[in-house]
């Protein structure tokens, strides 16, 4: 019985690469269906023994990944393609087995002249590179299903599109024929998916981000202004960092403001992770109003922030103090409600979160985005001085 050579895309969890394969073939575990929340490459690889099969949402950006294992003893690089197949056309591959049905990925548009959008959708494939015996995963394919019609996803790993076409099924297109096609090709997988309709108003937007600085812990935050209590927000990045992690926060319910009113004037939620220099991605962020009415003055946007480490010590006393300090303390100190922010001339521009925002938004601010390219820029907060203290009331 022959074995798969090169990348194996399993037909089921029991598939070890012996041809022809047997068992179930409509739930390929190496086509990762993640829904609207991205999954890190690290998690995709470590979950090799399980199936991820989340529900997709019509009209929103959903994430799909390909995973494979190099059964060769030597390194291998090939391309991963994913085709979307409407349920009504499953038995007619002569219609859907073409480049028009390939899933693509979102990317920054380098040509925004003549009103071109800042984010464009490019067709696949994505690259898989692995050492011998290694399991690897692609970055995310991005797909916005236009309807809730039942779909299937077909994943193919090959040297190029001509090789993909070479694997085109021949003979009868019965269900048994499709099954035999999958069973006889170890680099092809099939995964049925479910698509749900949007049942409330959802705003979705995208922005590109590139870390033009050094490797740093960076905090990414979604800021929703004038948002009804009970709505929810989330964001996800398309690509993983070199550590294999993605930027993102899962759906988070908007809490009531301190005054208890039904609209929160400033709701924020974020996450901090190490981001390597040169890392580039597309961040998709959204608000689901969950049956509430979007206020006319509602806004949402993203913020990326890095706090600098404390300044270098000038003497032995300062050195001993700074040894007890930390990057984390500096970061939280800069976001304290009692922190005072000053401009370059020393004038107080505000305190706490409002002062922080005023500093970043100030005209000519060194922290702002001066290139006006529409990208998310990393803001820098310089922390100077000791920890803040809370005044004691008499």
pLDDT for position 308: 63
Give the residue numbers spanning the domain of 168.
Answer: 7-196
Please state, in angstroms and rounded to a whole number, the distance separating the CA atoms of residues 155 and 103.
Answer: 10
End residue of a domain, out of 166, 196, 226: 196
Which residues lie closer than 8 Å to 25 by C-beta, 6 or more apart?
11, 12, 179, 182, 183, 190
Same domain, 234 and 177: no
* 216 found inside a domain: yes
* 275 found inside a domain: yes
pLDDT for position 177: 87
CB count within 10 Å of CB 381 equals 20
CATH, residue 56? 2.60.40.10
Same domain, 246 and 182: no
* 160 found inside a domain: yes
Tokens, residue 370: 């001066």
Same domain, 141 and 88: yes
For the chain, 394 residues long, give each residue's pLDDT as a single digit of tens: 578 889 999 999 999 999 999 999 999 999 999 999 999 999 999 999 999 999 999 999 999 999 999 999 999 999 999 999 999 999 888 889 899 999 999 999 887 677 778 899 998 899 999 999 999 999 999 999 999 999 999 999 999 999 998 877 765 678 888 899 999 999 999 999 999 999 999 999 999 999 998 999 999 999 999 999 999 999 999 999 999 999 999 999 999 999 999 999 999 999 999 999 999 999 999 999 999 999 999 999 999 998 665 555 555 555 554 455 554 455 555 556 667 777 666 778 777 767 776 766 654 444 444 445 678 988 876 655 544 444 444 3
Same domain, 286 and 352: yes
Is 137:148 a contact under the CB 8 Å cutoff?
no
pLDDT for position 322: 47
Same domain, 163 and 308: no
* 228 found inside a domain: yes
End residue of a domain, out of 165, 196, 227: 196
8-state DSSP, 204 = E
Q: What is the β-pairing status of strands 227-228 and 248-253? A: unpaired
Is 9:187 a contact under the CB 8 Å cutoff?
yes
Same domain, 186 and 301: no
Quick check: helix, strand or coil at residue 254? coil
Same domain, 11 and 156: yes
pLDDT for position 366: 41
pTM flag (> 0.95) = no
* 149 found inside a domain: yes
Same domain, 171 and 121: yes
* 394 found inside a domain: no
Closest CA to 379 of 237, 241, 216: 216
- Total domain count, the chain: 2
pLDDT for position 394: 37
Same domain, 24 and 92: yes
């Amino acid at each position: 019985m022959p074995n798969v050579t090169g990348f194996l895309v399993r037909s089921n969890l029991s598939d070890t690469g012996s041809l022809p394969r047997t068992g179930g073939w409509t739930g390929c575990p190496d086509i990762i269906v993640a829904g609207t929340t991205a999954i890190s490459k690290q998690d995709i690889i470590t979950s090799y023994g399980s199936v991820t099969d989340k529900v997709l949402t019509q009209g929103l950006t959903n994430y799909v990944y390909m995973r494979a294992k190099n059964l060769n003893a030597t390194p291998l690089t090939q391309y991963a393609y994913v085709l979307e197949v409407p349920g009504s056309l499953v038995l007619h591959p002569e219609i859907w087995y073409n480049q028009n049905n390939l899933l693509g990925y979102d990317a920054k548009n380098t040509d925004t002249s003549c009103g071109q959008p800042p984010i464009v959708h490019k067709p696949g494939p994505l690259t898989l590179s692995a050492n011998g015996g290694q399991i690897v995963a692609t970055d995310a394919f991005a797909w916005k299903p236009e309807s809730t019609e039942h779909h299937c996803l077909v994943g193919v790993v090959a040297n190029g599109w001509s090789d993909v076409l070479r694997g085109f099924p021949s003979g009868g297109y019965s269900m048994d024929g499709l099954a035999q096609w999958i069973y006889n090709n170890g680099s092809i997988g099939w995964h049925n998916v479910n698509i749900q309709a949007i049942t409330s108003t959802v705003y979705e937007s995208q922005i590109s981000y590139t870390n033009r600085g050094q490797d740093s812990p960076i905090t990414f935050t979604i800021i929703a202004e004038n948002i009804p209590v009970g709505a929810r927000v989330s964001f996800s990045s398309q690509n993983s960092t070199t550590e294999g992690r993605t930027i993102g926060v899962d759906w988070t319910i908007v809490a009531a403001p301190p005054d208890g009113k039904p609209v929160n004037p400033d709701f924020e939620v974020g996450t901090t992770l190490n981001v390597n220099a040169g890392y580039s991605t597309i961040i998709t962020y959204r608000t689901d109003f969950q049956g509430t009415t979007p206020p006319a003055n509602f806004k949402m946007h993203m913020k990326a922030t890095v706090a600098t480490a404390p300044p270098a010590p000038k003497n032995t006393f300062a050195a001993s103090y700074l040894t007890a300090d930390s990057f984390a303390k500096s970061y939280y100190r800069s976001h304290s409600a009692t922190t005072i922010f000053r401009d370059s001339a020393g004038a107080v521009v505000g305190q706490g979160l409002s002062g922080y925002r005023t500093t970043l938004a100030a005209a000519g601010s060194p922290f702002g985005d001066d290139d006006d390219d529409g990208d998310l820029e990393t803001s820098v907060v310089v922390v100077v001085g000791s920890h803040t203290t809370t005044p004691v009331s008499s």
